[in-house]
Structure 1
């Protein structure tokens, strides 16, 4: 078995594709979109990308190349069974997914180290003051340190586990359906790109929610549900209390974002709110931010990963063949 693990590991590191998509690709989004839109808006979704990229762009290609080579024929005359090889390669890439997620978080902490103890300015809005006029109010995002303190780590781990299971089953399905590495890439890359935007992996979930066409289309991707669980666990439900400051006509008011730190992805009676700077257009509860998930959404987020996993795995097992020759 050690020799099998060695072969899988060598295959992963022999080209730049594997390490790049596992460890480098998510950092691009953090550096660009995280800087433009804010760590508080996109980091939760970006943490789901390493799993998606590995399962869609690396795992199917690796499995296809192995099952099309003479390696499995040689394994057939040893004590190693095909299912043992499948378990080894799946376990290896699951570990890569986990390491990629941890690496992405560590790089985010480095990139946004300037906000570790002080939050960033989200936007300045004009609000009424006590004298019947208007005044400016600065909305300040929580510091990176505060973000980490309010993560529901139990829910975050569960959400990532669901993301790994759904992603791996989809990767196996793609490998079982395609007859060349080119066709794998032709299917995987469009799915990955669409999911990144529709499932709020690289965009603020409030932005996706605000654009009806994007939000309705997001239901077609399995990553909508797992990334939704990740974002909710990572962020916590935001509360914006506009009545918590003392209005002063001569000064700007400052409102620091607060969290509902008890937010639980398993409690379907809790609604999930987030803050997106354009929500002042009137589509949100002024004291609780923008409503993202109600009870129906939360039930769907918990159930649909199992539905997609069962569907993808069932088709993959039915169509999977050890050789394409």
Structure 2
């Protein structure tokens, strides 16, 4: 600094690439006593500002980490949240694609209600009851479709993705993945159920009344069986995802399961006609959803609902099927894939 005073006439003070001051050397010597004093004065002033700014940024970052600590504890297996976020976005993407690609989740209930609804509308007998029964079956089959198709296809596509194979298997927590799949699937099931009821009201509500067609006759009694159907569907879907590695094979197997279940659940014909058939009524016992569907249909469109011994047995069997499907899906994570 003494050499600056001796040999230089002008000075420029630069901090972080920005010119802070410039002028004559004799002026700063006159004001500060020496260039050395001026330099330390400016360094102290600007460095304190830098440290304060850095401290505020660290403080803000720590507050954000603390805020997300509980969430990260559930989501991330390792301390790498920046790697888990793309996986979460990917899972939502596959759900979105699965929900809108499969025609039966959006168009199938509309087509079935249009074709079968107007066909049974012309039949003799209690048209409202037959139509109401058919509506209950079609509406409940939509959540089944989410469980049989959308949930397993989402899982298979997710675990086969390059992103999952590269970073996901060592980072994302199994419990978060399972819970997220089930929670999102549950909301989709509710959405498809309400979507079907909406179109029932649009097509037949004006003729027969929305309350007579769209709502259950015994709402409270039907809810336990609705929940059992929802969780059994999710359990079956996760079981399928643990068996198949290819989406093509999965879709083929899902169709083989789906259409017999749809027939025996009263989607193509009212449940009363199926149960009155000397052959089909015995085949219905092989339908894993029968033990929740039959009491549900009775609560949905029956003139009365009494919790009989038979329904008690059905409830126990349905709960056991649900428990069995859920426990058959033993979840494991490896470096390259997700398996149940």
- Please give the TM-score of this superposition, normalised by the length of structure 1: 0.68
Structure 1 residues 18 and 86, CA, compared in 2 at 3 Å: closer, same or farther?
farther
From 90, 97, 104, give the equivalent of 1:14.
Answer: 97
Task: Tell me the equivalent position of 1:32.
Answer: 115
CA deviations 1:36-79 (Å, max 9, x no partner) are 1242241111111111111111111110111122333423454x
- Alpha-carbon separation, structure 2, partners of 1:22 and 1:172: 19
- Alpha-carbon separation, structure 2, partners of 1:19 and 1:93: 15
Alignment of 1:87-126 (within 5 A): 87-117=179-209
Task: Tell me the equivalent position of 1:313.
Answer: 326
- Alpha-carbon separation, structure 2, partners of 1:149 and 1:26: 16
* Structure having the larger proportion of residues in strand: 1
Gaps of 5+ in 2: 1-74, 76-84, 122-130
- Alpha-carbon separation, structure 1, partners of 2:87 and 2:190: 21
The structural deviation recorded for 1:202 is: 3.3
The structural deviation recorded for 1:199 is: 2.0
Task: Tell me the equivalent position of 2:243.
Answer: 177
- Alpha-carbon separation, structure 1, partners of 2:274 and 2:260: 12
From 64, 84, 94, give the equivalent of 2:176.
Answer: 84
Structure 1 residues 45 and 15, CA, compared in 2 at 3 Å: closer, same or farther?
closer
Gaps of 5+ in 1: 118-143, 237-258, 269-294
Q: Secondary structure at the match of 2:329?
A: helix
Q: Is 2:146–2:189's contact at 8 Å kept on the other side of the alignment?
A: yes
CA deviations 1:116-148 (Å, max 9, x no partner) are 34xxxxxxxxxxxxxxxxxxxxxxxxxx43355
The structural deviation recorded for 1:203 is: 1.7
Q: Is 2:205–2:213's contact at 8 Å kept on the other side of the alignment?
A: no
Q: Is 1:159–1:226's contact at 8 Å kept on the other side of the alignment?
A: yes
Between Structure 1 and Structure 2, how many residues are aligned?
Answer: 245
The structural deviation recorded for 1:3 is: 5.6
Larger radius of gyration: 2
CA deviations 1:151-203 (Å, max 9, x no partner) are 21112222211111110000111111112112211211111100111122332
Structure 1 residues 225 and 320, CA, compared in 2 at 3 Å: closer, same or farther?
farther
Is residue 229 of structure 1 aligned with residue 295 of structure 2?
yes
The structural deviation recorded for 1:149 is: 6.5
From 137, 145, 149, give the equivalent of 1:53.
Answer: 145
Q: Secondary structure at the match of 2:279?
A: helix
Structure 1 residues 320 and 217, CA, compared in 2 at 3 Å: closer, same or farther?
farther
- Alpha-carbon separation, structure 2, partners of 1:212 and 1:316: 36
Task: Tell me the equivalent position of 2:161.
Answer: 69
Is residue 301 of structure 1 aligned with residue 314 of structure 2?
yes
- Please give the TM-score of this superposition, normalised by the length of structure 2: 0.65
* Structure having the larger proportion of residues in helix: 2
